[in-house]
């Protein structure tokens, strides 16, 4: 499935195909290969030490009685509102910044995600489910209160992915210096990662898995995740994909965020531990951040 997501954009976009030919080694060793190795390791770890069937039963019990289709519609509405608010705030903050000299681009990213990928979805997912008997809080407990030791073993493939990606990227571009700006960027992205992993994995993918099966849910959520970044990229401080033309940007988003999204989705499906997903996303952000802190593609 990962190969298909990678192959389709390359096959149907000749300009991108030409550019990828020049950078194939970096993409392979910094992105695609680490994600594939991480996925295989996650499968090996959960097969050897985990009890995924029992964990899946907990997830199904947590969502029992929830109107899943209605909740998915709500999630779609929130995602559309997130995109619209991102566009609106980026324009407003840009105008305000031009007059004051302040750089408020990151604020648009944070506010939009906090409101429509975190706060409102959490409220609606609890309220539209069955909360009078406590079922509305069952899924957050599964995702955030991780007491079973084997569910932390997902840190092993996550660490391997970060080491392999860092080994390929850092010698070529280096690491940004440790200063207040870097700390601020990392803290901001940590908040963004929490919002996105709760929305795209814990909420969206989990419900899609119940309806479409494990891999159907993973692939569908990954496509939504990748295409969302393609749509907001002109207005989002952290997802400024290079290149012109919407078709080019969609293809590039599938090539960069697609394999990463499949790994994040598979880690979530294996361990249902939101903290592992947040940790690997913060790690990838640091590895891929250029030394001048000029943020670009950060899966």
The 10s digit of each residue's pLDDT in 70-126 is 999 999 999 999 999 998 988 887 777 665 544 567 788 889 999 999 999 988 876
Angle at 284 between CA 161 and CA 40, to 5 degrees: 25
What pLDDT, on a 0 to 100 scale, did the predictor assign at position 14?
Answer: 56
Does residue 265 sit within a domain?
yes
Please check the confidence at residue 298 and state whether its pLDDT lies above 60.
Answer: no
Q: Buried (b) or exposed (e) across 91-105, using 16+ Cβ within 10 A?
A: eebeeeeeeeeeebb
189 found inside a domain: yes
pLDDT digits (tens, 9 = 90+) for 134-155: 556 688 888 989 999 999 999 9
**Residue 293 falls within a domain, yes or no?**
no
Give the separation between CA 36 and CA 1, rounded to whole angstroms. 11
| pLDDT at residue 196, rounded to an integer | 95
In percent, how much of the chain has pLDDT > 90?
Answer: 45
In order of 22, 172, 265, the CA distances from 252 in angstroms are: 15, 21, 19
> CA of 48: how far to CAs of 44, 117, 203, 214, in Å?
6, 34, 27, 19
Q: What are phi and psi of 68, to 5 degrees?
A: -60, -40
Residue 299 placed within a domain = no
Nearest in space to 231 (alpha carbons), one of 121, 84, 57? 84
- Kindly state whether residue 145 falls inside one of the protein's structural domains: yes
Which residues, 6 or more positions from 22, have their beta carbon under 8 angstroms from its beta carbon? none
Band (pLDDT 50/70/90 cuts) for residue 285 is confident
Dihedral angle, C-alpha 105, 284, 83, 272, nearest 10 °: -140
Lowest average pLDDT, out of 127-141, 165-179, 217-231, 259-273, goes to: 127-141
Residue 6 has pLDDT above 60, yes or no: no
Both ends of the chain: CA-CA distance in Å?
A: 18
Q: What is the pLDDT of residue 128?
A: 55
Averaged pLDDT of the chain: 82
In terms of residue numbers, what domain contains 176?
Answer: 2-288
Residue 209 lies in a domain: yes
Residue 173 pLDDT more than 60? yes
Section 201-216 average pLDDT? 95
Look at residues 277, 204, 219 and name the one whose alpha carbon lies nearest to residue 38: 277
Write down the pLDDT at residue 186.
87
Least confident of 53-57, 169-173, 205-209, 294-298: 294-298
**Structure confidence at residue 170 (pLDDT):** 80
E-assigned strand segments in 91-245: none
The percent of residues in the chain predicted with pLDDT above 70, rounded, is 77
Contact assessment for residue 129 and residue 135, using Cβ atoms and an 8 Å cutoff: yes
Which residues 6+ apart lie within 8 Å of 52 measured at CB? 46, 270
257 within 8 A of 226, measured Cβ to Cβ: yes
How many domains is the chain partitioned into structurally?
Answer: 1
Q: Number of H helices and number of E strands within the chain?
A: 15, 0
- Alpha-carbon distance 255 to 31, whole Å? 9
Instruction: pLDDT band for 131, please (50, 70, 90 cuts).
Output: very low
Q: What is the pTM of this model?
A: 0.86
Largest CA distance in the chain: 59
For residue 294, being part of any structural domain is answered with no
Residue 188 in this model has a pLDDT that exceeds 70: yes
Q: Distance of CA 297 to CAs 31, 77, 233, 240, 256, Å?
A: 12, 26, 9, 6, 8
Residue 297 domain-assigned (yes or no): no
């Amino acid at each position: 499935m990962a190969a298909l997501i990678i192959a389709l954009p390359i096959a149907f976009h000749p300009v991108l195909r030409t550019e990828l030919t020049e950078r194939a080694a970096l993409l392979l060793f910094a992105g695609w290969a680490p994600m594939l190795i991480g996925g295989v390791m996650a499968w090996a770890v959960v097969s050897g030490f985990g009890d995924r069937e029992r964990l899946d039963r907990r997830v199904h019990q947590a969502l029992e009685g929830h109107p899943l289709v209605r909740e998915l519609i709500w999630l779609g509405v929130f995602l559309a509102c997130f995109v619209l608010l991102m566009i609106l705030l980026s324009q407003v903050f840009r105008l305000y910044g031009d007059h004051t000299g302040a750089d408020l681009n990151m604020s648009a990213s944070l506010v939009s995600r906090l409101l429509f990928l975190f706060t409102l979805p959490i409220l609606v997912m609890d309220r539209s489910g069955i909360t009078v008997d406590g079922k509305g809080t069952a899924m957050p407990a599964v995702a955030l209160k991780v007491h079973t030791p084997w569910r932390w073993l997902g840190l092993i493939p996550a660490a391997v992915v970060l080491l392999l990606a860092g080994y390929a990227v850092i010698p070529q571009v280096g690491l940004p210096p440790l200063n207040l700006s870097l700390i601020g960027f990392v803290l901001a992205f940590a908040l963004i990662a929490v919002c996105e992993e709760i929305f795209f994995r814990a909420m969206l993918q989990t419900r899609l898995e119940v309806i479409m099966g494990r891999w159907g849910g993973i692939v569908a959520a990954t496509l939504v995740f990748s295409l969302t970044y393609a749509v907001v990229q002109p207005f989002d401080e952290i997802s400024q994909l290079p290149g012109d033309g919407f078709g080019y940007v969609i293809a590039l988003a599938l090539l960069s965020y697609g394999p990463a999204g499949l790994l994040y989705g598979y880690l979530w499906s294996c361990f249902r531990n939101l903290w592992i997903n947040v940790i690997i996303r913060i790690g990838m952000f640091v590895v891929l951040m250029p030394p001048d802190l000029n943020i670009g593609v950060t899966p």
